[in-house]
Amino acid sequence: MNKKNCQISIIVPFYNVELYFRQFLDSLLPIGDNCEVILVDDGSQDFSTDIAIEFTERFSNVKLLQKQNGGLSSARNYGLKFAKGDYVIFFDSDDYIEDKTVIYKMFEEAVVKKADILIAQYYEFIELDNKKFRPDKINFIQDLISLEDKMDKLFQNCVSFAVWDKIYKIDFLKSNNLQFKEGVWFEDMDFIYKAFFYASKISKVEDVLIGYRQRPGSIMKTISPKILDKISVLEGLYDFFEEKNTLSKVYEKFKVLYIRIIFSIIYSVLIFGSNNKVENEILDKVFNLPFFKVAIQEKLVHKNYLSKLEKFLFYLIKFKIINRNNINLIRYFTVLRRL
């Protein structure tokens, strides 16, 4: 495809997703000639590659790139090298495009508003007949321009850390050397915080773009030592804010984010785990993190950023009602998720 004719690049990494890949591609294609779809095969060993080849043969604006397995971040970065569009969207290969006309609308709105990032609505699903819409993840009215507004919405959890509900200006990504951190899980959080930091304007549309599939065995529900990558990503963001001389402006809010992420690790281990040695080692490491020990005892200026469950856990741990030795008590409070 000629660069002059390409306005939107859609990058779709895939790896062993034969069960869901066709449904995703059918929801996306066909799509207008002003779009290119870049399928990045990250070393698949099932029939995903055959499905990708089939769609490249059916649609002239679909391109297949193949590489050795390097993970989701590596595949996204690789696809971005070949993108010819003015704007780019990163989709996951097991999700579902609810309305592809929203892609055009996002592009048009981003151009008119001169936005570096534009966000759309999404929903979560296990099966498509049971959708959970997430308007809380696009909870702002005015365009986000100031650093304070941009960071506030992220720290308050009013915008998702997800990459796939947003469109990005490619020149903006390249001029700020924005890429996905390779070799870690939860790379989206690192990317989104840095992208929001650099963006001159962030806008939104109210339309629903995509459905996020929650499936068994996904990274979000897998308990392994890699779950601690959340901590390394946070530590990297701490260093980033310090390097940019903005740490003092965001420290109190960052502290809440840190606590929230720690709680998400504890919660995941207790709810999705099976109380084995690896999981116990994860909990040991989490409870002994120096910054966590400090943050849990300091005054939380922005405790209103925490959910009811998170506040409850915060006080249980702060006042030593629950500690590492009796942490399994949290299993009995899972009903509080509904509060």
pLDDT at 337 over 80: no
Tokens for 170? Answer: 């490619």
Residues 89 and 36: beta-carbon distance below 8 Å: no
Asked if 131 and 50 touch (Cβ cutoff 8 Å), the reply is no
User: Strand, helix or coil at 94?
Assistant: coil
Give per-residue pLDDT as tens, 95-109. 999 999 999 999 999
**Each residue of 276-299: pLDDT tens digit?**
788 888 888 988 898 888 888 888
| C-alpha triplet 308, 192, 239: angle, nearest 5° | 90
Q: May I ask the CATH class of domain 3-219?
A: alpha beta
Looking at the predicted structure, is the pLDDT value of residue 217 above 60?
A: no
Q: How far apart are CA 227 and CA 6, in angstroms?
A: 38
- Angle 308-318/247-272 helices, nearest 10 degrees? 90
Task: Give 16-68 pLDDT, tens digit per residue.
Answer: 999 999 999 999 999 999 999 999 999 999 999 999 999 999 999 999 999 99
Task: Work out the burial of residue 129: count CB atoms within 10 Å of its CB; fewer than 13 is exposed, 13-18 middle, 19 or more buried.
Answer: exposed
Categorize the per-residue pLDDT at 336 as very low, low, confident or very high, splitting at 50, 70 and 90.
very low
Q: What is the pTM of this model?
A: 0.90
Query: Residues 70-81: what's their mean pLDDT?
Result: 97
The amino acid present at 94, given as its one-letter code, is D
CA distance 116 to 63: 25
The predicted pLDDT at position 328 comes to: 66
Please give the single-letter amino acid code of residue 90. Answer: F
CA torsion, points 11, 15, 18, 23, in degrees to nearest 10?
Answer: -20
Looking up tokens 């989701």, which residue turns up?
Answer: 72
pLDDT tens profile 141-165:
899 999 999 999 999 989 999 999 9
Where are the domains positioned within the chain?
3-219, 222-338
pLDDT given at position 310: 83
- 107-144 pLDDT per residue, tens: 999 999 999 999 999 999 987 878 888 887 888 989 99
- Does a cis peptide bond (omega within 30 degrees of 0) precede residue 225? no
Q: What is the pLDDT of residue 335?
A: 45
Pairing of strands 8-14, 35-41: parallel
Rounded to an integer, what is the distance from CA 328 to the centroid of its chain? Answer: 28
Identify the three-state secondary structure at position 334: helix
Percent of the chain with pLDDT over 70: 92
Q: How far apart are CA 88 and CA 167, in angstroms?
A: 6
